[in-house]
A and B are shown apart, each in its own frame.
Chain A
C-alpha cells in the first residue's frame, strides 16, 4: 500500500497536542495518562452536545456508521473550536483492522480533515496490526504493558461503580470514588517506576475494599446488561447517556468490560490459525499475549471474589464456551461472536434483561446481535432482550420508550 498519510514525527512529539476520542471516560483517562508518561501530550476530548453530531454529518458520508460520525465530528469540532492550534495538534484513533467498515474510520477521518481544511493534521493509527509508521508514536512493550493495566483498572472501576451506584445511600458517592481512584491510578502509572505486579494486585484490593465501604441499601434492583457495538455500548455521547437513564429507571447496569474485547481481538488471531490455517507465523506471539492477559483477568476476578460480594466478570474462556451451538467462532467482524457471547454470559450470570445497542445499519450486528436474539430467546425463554439503534437522526424518546417496554417486562 502506497503511503498517503502524514506521519507523526519525533519532532512533532515535542510540542504537539494529541487529541484522544472519548469512548470510555475512566479507561481513556488512564490511557491518556499512560501516553503522557511516554512524552506524548495526550488530551482526552470530553466535549459533547448536538454540535458534534452536526459537524460529523457535515464532513462524513451520512450513511456511514454513527460512531464514525461522532468521533470525526468531535475531532473536527475540536480543531475548529480555537482551543487548539491546528498546526500543533495531532489526532489518534484506535483500530482493530477487521472486515468491518470500521477499519476505514481513519481514512474517513483523513478525508474529512481535508474537506474541513486541515489536511496537514497528522492522524496516528494505533493498532496492534501495525499498519502505519509514526516515528513519534511507537508502541513499545513497556507502553503496552501499562495500557493493559489501564484497561484492567478501568474495567474494575466501571464494574464496582456500576454495582454500587444504584444502591448508594449518599448520592454520587460511587462516582466520586471512581473518579478519585482514576486520578490516583493515573499518578501511579508513571513511566519512571517499574510496575510491580504485586503492587497492582494490592491496589485491586484497596479499590475493592474502598467501594465495599460505601454504605448501600439492602435491596435488589432489576439487573440490566448492556452489550453491543463497542462505541455505542460504552460512549454516553453515542448512547444518549444510556447508563444514567437505566439507573434513573431503577436498574442496576452491567456492562461487559474492555478486557474481553481485547482478548477477543487476540483470540481471533489464534482462531485464524486454528480454523483457517492463516497467520501461522505470528501464532506463538499472540498465544503468549493471550495466556498473559487471561492470567491477568483471572487474578482480577479472584481479587473481587476473595474480598467482596461484588459480582466479578466471567472468565473469558467461560464466555467463549457459551457460544457453542449459537454462532461460529469464525464470525469475527466488528464485535462478531463476542456480542452473542456477552448476551449469553449475562444470561448465564442471571442478568436476564439486556439492551443490545448498535449504530443504525451496523452490518455485523445484523448477524451477531439482532440475528442471534431469536435463538438465544428460544433456548433461554426468560431472557428479555431489546435491540436499540443509535443514530444522529434517531430520537431519545423512541429509544427510551422501547427500553421502558423492556423494563416493564423485566424478568428477575
Chain B
C-alpha cells in the first residue's frame, strides 16, 4: 500500500487528494478565505483517520502553495504541469485542456508537442471575476448560474480583463437589461478572454477537457464554452474530478518523488510557520493606538448637517436622487436645506424598483403636509429614472457633487469623490469647477472593489473595514489596477498576511490610485487648502485615514459623505417651484419592463435596451447616437470632421474600379496608419494597375474575427483589430495584402523627429508571424521611407519586382507621384474642412470641440462613435489634424518625436488660444506613448485656464462614462 497526498492551494481554495496505490481515497475542496496555512492545517486534521500513524509522501501545488512549500520545505509541483501529468495518465486521447481557477486561466495543448500556458498579467481574474459579478447582480454564484441558462441573447462585453468587462456590465444593469442575459454575457466574456488570451492563434480542437472550480460549478459557463468552441457532447468533457485535477497531479508527483513523511511531522512543519510572516513590503499602521483613532473619529464627527423630523414638517420640499452604478441614494430637503429623509442602499441591479419603492414611501410620508416642489436626478441611471418617474431635472454628477460640497464648505477648493465604481476629482477655482478628473478602467480601484473583496473573504464591508483600522502592518498592494491588486493580495497571502493587513492595504491602494493615477498630484499643495472628500467609500474610516496619511493633511468628510450626490441634486432642484414628479396615484400602477434590441440606424448596430413603462412611454438606452431613440435627428447636420474623414476614406474603394487593373487585386487594411496614408497607397497602386480592395470600417465583428491570433493582449485596440481586417481581406480573395513598415511618418517639419509609434510602425511584422491565413496570399510589408520620393521609388521597385515581374521603375516613379498628389489633396481637404467647420460654428454660435486623437480614432468601432455623441450634445466636432496648421509651433517639455503627436500639441495650443474651442483627448488603452502626451497636453491647456478632458477607450462599448465626462465639461462651461 502506497499513500500519497496532494495539496493544491490556489488563490481562493484548498484542494486535497489522497491517493492509495493510485486510487482516490479521500478528497476535499474548501475556500480558505486567505487563511492559507491555518486552513491547510485544519484540512490535514480532518484527514487524520486516513493518515494517522502511516507513512506517506506529499507535494504542494498552486499559487498560494508556492509560499508554503518554500517556508516549510515541502516538495512543490507547478500546477499546470501537475494537471498535464494527470491528464496524460487519465485521458490520453484529450487534445486540449482548459482550466480555470480563482485567479488564473490555463490551457494545455497536447497535439503536436505539449504546450502549457497561463494567462498574462493583464488578463487575470476568472473565478474571482465570476464571484464579483455575482455580487454585482446580488446573487450567489449558483443563482447566477441558474438564470444564465435562460438567456435569450448575449451582449457584447469587453473581454480584455475582468475590470473592462465590469465596465460594460454595470451600465447594462443600470439600463435595465435582463439579468438572465447579463449573466450569460458574463460567462461569454470569460470564454472570449480565455480563448483570445491563451490560445493565441492555436486552434482548440479534438476532445477538450474542462477543469477547475468555476467550470465544475457553473453550468452556464460550460454551455458558453461548448457553444463557442462548437464542441459536441462527446468532445467536451467535464470530469467529476474537475476540481481536483491539480491536487491529483500533486499526489502523483509526490508518489514519484518518494520522500516520506508522517502526519505529525507535516503538521509540525506547517504549525511552526503558522504565524510567520514576511514583513517586507509593509506600510506604516493607520493608527498608532486606540487614542489616536478616537481623536480622529471625533474630529470627523463634527462635519454634520442639519436634520429635521419629517413627521412634523410642513411646507415645501425638494428631492434629490443619485442613481449610481452600484447604489441608489435619495435625499429630501426642507426649504431650509435640512434633511427630512434620506436613503442609501445598493440598487441590487434594479434601480427602477428601488426608486419606485422609495417614492411610494416618500409620498406616503409627505401626505398633504409636504409638497415636493422640485426634484432632480443625477448619476448613471439619470436618464432612466428621469424618464420613468417624471423627475424634473437631470444634473450631471460633477455639478451635483460640487453643489453639495460648496453648500457644506463654501471655500472648498478640492473635491474628491470615491463612489462604488467611480472616482471623481475636481479642483475649484474662483467659485467654478476648474478641472475635472475621472478614473477609467485601469484606475478603477474604488468602493465596490473593497466590498466584493470583503465578501469573498467572508466579511461584510463594515466589519472588514474596521478590522483594517488596527492593522499593525498594512500590506503594500500597489496601485496598478484591481486585477493586479488581486494578485498582490495573493502574494501577501503567500507571505502570511492577516485579514487586518489586507483590509488596510486595500484602503491604501484605493487612495494611492486616486492620488497618483487619477489626480496625478505631485505634491499636496496642488490639491489646495480646503479638501472635501465624499462618496460612500469614505464611510470606510480606513480609506479616510489612509488618504489623510498619504497627503499628510487633514480633510473634511461630511457625515453624509455617501449622500452628497443626492444632496447636491436636491439643492439643485431648489431653483424650481413646481414639480412634475410622479404622483402617489400613478406610482401604484407603475410597472416597468425591459427588452433588448439591435438598432438598425447605421452600421454601428448598437445594442439597445428598450424600457417600457406602464403608461406606454418608452426609454431607450445603449445607443451611441440619437438615431436609435426613434427621434428624427436634428434638422441641420453640423460639421463633424470625423464623419467627413470616414466618408472620404470609404468613398475611395469604388473609385478604384476605373483603373487598368491588369496586375490583379491588392488588399489594404483600413487600420492604424492606413487611416491617414490610404489616399497615398490607394492612388499609388491604382496607378500601377492594381484593383485596390479596402477592408472597410471596423465593427465589433471585425475584432472578433481576428481575436484568436493576437499574441500580445496588452497592445492597443486599434492594433488588435488589424487581425480582423486581414481576415476580411483574405476572405475577399485579394491577390496580395499591403501594409508597409514605416519607422518614420511624414515629416511635417514641426517636431524634433517624425517617428511612428512602434506599434503603428511594425505591426505587420507581428501579423506576418502570427496569422496563418497570410500564408494563403502574398503579404507585402516592406520597410519604406516615405519622406524621400526617389528612395521610396527605389525601395518599392526592389521589393515589388520580386512579386510582380514586369513592373518597371518608371511606372513606380509615376505611381509614387500620383500617390503623393492624392495624399496632399486629402490632407489639404481635411484642413480646409477644419477651417470651414470653425467658420460654421462661429457663424451659428455653436460650441467647438477638437476631438484630438490619432487618425485611426475616426474608425466607428475604435472611436465608438464618440464624435457623434459629442455632435448630439451640440458640438461642432473637428479633428486635431484639421486645425493644427492654424496654431504656431508649440514648444513642449518632452521630446517631440512623433508626427501625430506634434499635431496634437499644436491643436492643444489652438484650443488654449481660442476661448470658444474645447479639446477632448482620446486615448487608447495601452498606448504607452500617450502616457507622455497626456500630461503635456493637459499642461498646455491648463496653463491658459482651459479644461482638459481625457477619454480612454478600448474594446468597451458603453458610452455611459463618456457621456458623463462630456456633460461634465458642458456643465462646467456653463457655470
- Residues of A participating in the B interface, judged by any CB pair closer than 8 Å: 1-2, 4, 50, 54, 57-59, 61-65, 98-101, 103-104, 106-108, 110-112, 115-117, 275-278, 326-334, 360-368, 370-375, 381, 387, 389, 391-398, 400-402, 404-405, 407-409
- Stretch in B553-561, B563-571, B605-613, B753-761 touching the partner: B753-761
B258 CB, nearest partner CB in chain A, Å: 18
| Interface presence of B118 (CB below 8 A) | yes
Would A334 and B120 count as touching, CB distance under 8 A?
A: no
A-B contact pairs, 26 of them (CB 8 A): A1-B896, A58-B522, A107-B893, A107-B894, A108-B894, A111-B935, A115-B522, A275-B785, A275-B795, A278-B785, A327-B765, A328-B782, A329-B783, A330-B743, A332-B743, A363-B928, A363-B929, A372-B769, A375-B769, A389-B122, A393-B480, A393-B488, A397-B63, A397-B67, A398-B490, A401-B78
Would A363 and B758 count as touching, CB distance under 8 A?
A: yes
A253 CB, nearest partner CB in chain B, Å: 19
Would A361 and B479 count as touching, CB distance under 8 A?
A: no
Would A392 and B741 count as touching, CB distance under 8 A?
A: no
| Interface presence of B966 (CB below 8 A) | no
Q: Which residues of B contact A100 (CB under 8 A)?
A: 758
Number of interface residues of B (CB under 8 A): 88
Would A327 and B769 count as touching, CB distance under 8 A?
A: yes
Q: Which residues of A contact B756 (CB under 8 A)?
A: 99
Using known A-B contacts A107-B895, A360-B714, determine if residue A326 contacts B121 with beta carbons closer than 8 Å: no
| Interface presence of B549 (CB below 8 A) | no
Residue among A116, A360, A409 making CB contact with B116, cutoff 8 Å:
A409
Would B932 and A393 count as touching, CB distance under 8 A?
A: no
Distance A371 CA – B765 CA, assembled complex (angstroms): 8
Distance A87 CA – B120 CA, assembled complex (angstroms): 44
Contact with A along B235-278 (1 / 0, CB 8 A): 00000000000000000000000000000000000000000000
- Cross-chain pair count, CB within 8 angstroms: 231
Residue of A nearest to B897 (CB): A103
Would A333 and B761 count as touching, CB distance under 8 A?
A: yes
Q: Which residue, B719, B928, B929, has most C-beta atoms of chain A within 10 A?
A: B928
Contact with A along B87-130 (1 / 0, CB 8 A): 00000000000000000100000001110101011100000000
Would B788 and A277 count as touching, CB distance under 8 A?
A: yes
| Interface presence of B449 (CB below 8 A) | no
Q: Which residues of B contact A107 (CB under 8 A)?
A: 893-895, 932
B205 CB, nearest partner CB in chain A, Å: 17
Would A408 and B759 count as touching, CB distance under 8 A?
A: no
Would A64 and B480 count as touching, CB distance under 8 A?
A: no
Distance A64 CA – B931 CA, assembled complex (angstroms): 6
B62 CB, nearest partner CB in chain A, Å: 9
Using known A-B contacts A99-B755, A409-B116, determine if residue A61 contacts B765 with beta carbons closer than 8 Å: no
Would B484 and A391 count as touching, CB distance under 8 A?
A: yes
Residue of A nearest to B492 (CB): A395
Would B757 and A99 count as touching, CB distance under 8 A?
A: yes
Q: Which residues of B contact A277 (CB under 8 A)?
A: 785, 788, 790-791, 794
Would A393 and B479 count as touching, CB distance under 8 A?
A: yes
Would B765 and A367 count as touching, CB distance under 8 A?
A: yes
Q: Which residues of A contact B76 (CB under 8 A)?
A: 404
Residue among A59, A374, A394, A398 making CB contact with B63, cutoff 8 Å:
A398
Would A364 and B758 count as touching, CB distance under 8 A?
A: yes
Q: Which residues of A contact B478 (CB under 8 A)?
A: 392-393
B968 CB, nearest partner CB in chain A, Å: 22
Q: Which residues of B contact A326 (CB under 8 A)?
A: 769
Residue among A61, A99, A397 making CB contact with B931, cutoff 8 Å:
A61
**Given A58-B522, A64-B928, A395-B487, 15 extra CB contacts under 8 A:** A1-B752, A61-B520, A62-B517, A103-B895, A104-B895, A106-B895, A107-B893, A330-B783, A374-B770, A391-B480, A398-B121, A398-B490, A405-B78, A407-B78, A409-B116
Would B762 and A4 count as touching, CB distance under 8 A?
A: no
A355 CB, nearest partner CB in chain B, Å: 14
Q: Which residues of A contact B752 (CB under 8 A)?
A: 1
Q: Which residues of B contact A50 (CB under 8 A)?
A: 280-281, 476
Q: Which residues of A contact B790 (CB under 8 A)?
A: 277
Using known A-B contacts A331-B762, A367-B759, determine if residue A275 contacts B783 with beta carbons closer than 8 Å: yes
Contact with A along B460-484 (1 / 0, CB 8 A): 0000000000000000101111001
Would B895 and A63 count as touching, CB distance under 8 A?
A: no
Residue of A nearest to B894 (CB): A107
Would A394 and B121 count as touching, CB distance under 8 A?
A: yes
Q: Please name the 5 residue pairs, one residue from A and one from B, whose CB atoms are nearest each other, closest first.
A: A393-B480, A330-B783, A115-B522, A371-B766, A99-B755
Would A370 and B935 count as touching, CB distance under 8 A?
A: no
Residue among B120, B512, B763 making CB contact with A387, cutoff 8 Å:
B120
Would A110 and B741 count as touching, CB distance under 8 A?
A: no
Using known A-B contacts A101-B928, A277-B794, determine if residue A389 contacts B80 with beta carbons closer than 8 Å: no
Q: Which residues of B contact A360 (CB under 8 A)?
A: 121-122, 480, 714
Q: Which parts of B491-528 form the interface with A (CB within 8 Å)?
A: 491, 494, 512, 516-517, 520, 522-523
| Interface presence of B828 (CB below 8 A) | no
Distance A381 CA – B522 CA, assembled complex (angstroms): 49
Would A367 and B766 count as touching, CB distance under 8 A?
A: yes
Distance A372 CA – B928 CA, assembled complex (angstroms): 20
| Interface presence of B408 (CB below 8 A) | no
| Interface presence of B485 (CB below 8 A) | yes
Q: Which residues of B contact A101 (CB under 8 A)?
A: 757, 928-929, 931-932
Distance A370 CA – B719 CA, assembled complex (angstroms): 14
A277 CB, nearest partner CB in chain B, Å: 4
Using known A-B contacts A366-B719, A401-B118, A409-B116, determine if residue A371 contacts B757 with beta carbons closer than 8 Å: no
A387 CB, nearest partner CB in chain B, Å: 7
Distance A405 CA – B84 CA, assembled complex (angstroms): 11
Residue of B nearest to A398 (CB): B487
Q: Which residues of A contact B935 (CB under 8 A)?
A: 61, 111
Distance A387 CA – B719 CA, assembled complex (angstroms): 20
Distance A375 CA – B709 CA, assembled complex (angstroms): 12
Would B517 and A64 count as touching, CB distance under 8 A?
A: no
| Interface presence of B970 (CB below 8 A) | no
Q: Which residues of B contact A394 (CB under 8 A)?
A: 121, 480, 484, 487
Q: Which residues of B contact A364 (CB under 8 A)?
A: 758, 762
Q: Which residues of B contact A62 (CB under 8 A)?
A: 479-480, 516-517, 931
Q: Which residue, A57, A275, A371, A405, has most C-beta atoms of chain B within 10 A?
A: A371
Would A363 and B757 count as touching, CB distance under 8 A?
A: yes
Residue among A278, A371, A381 making CB contact with B769, cutoff 8 Å:
A371
Q: Which parts of B380-414 form the interface with A (CB within 8 Å)?
A: none
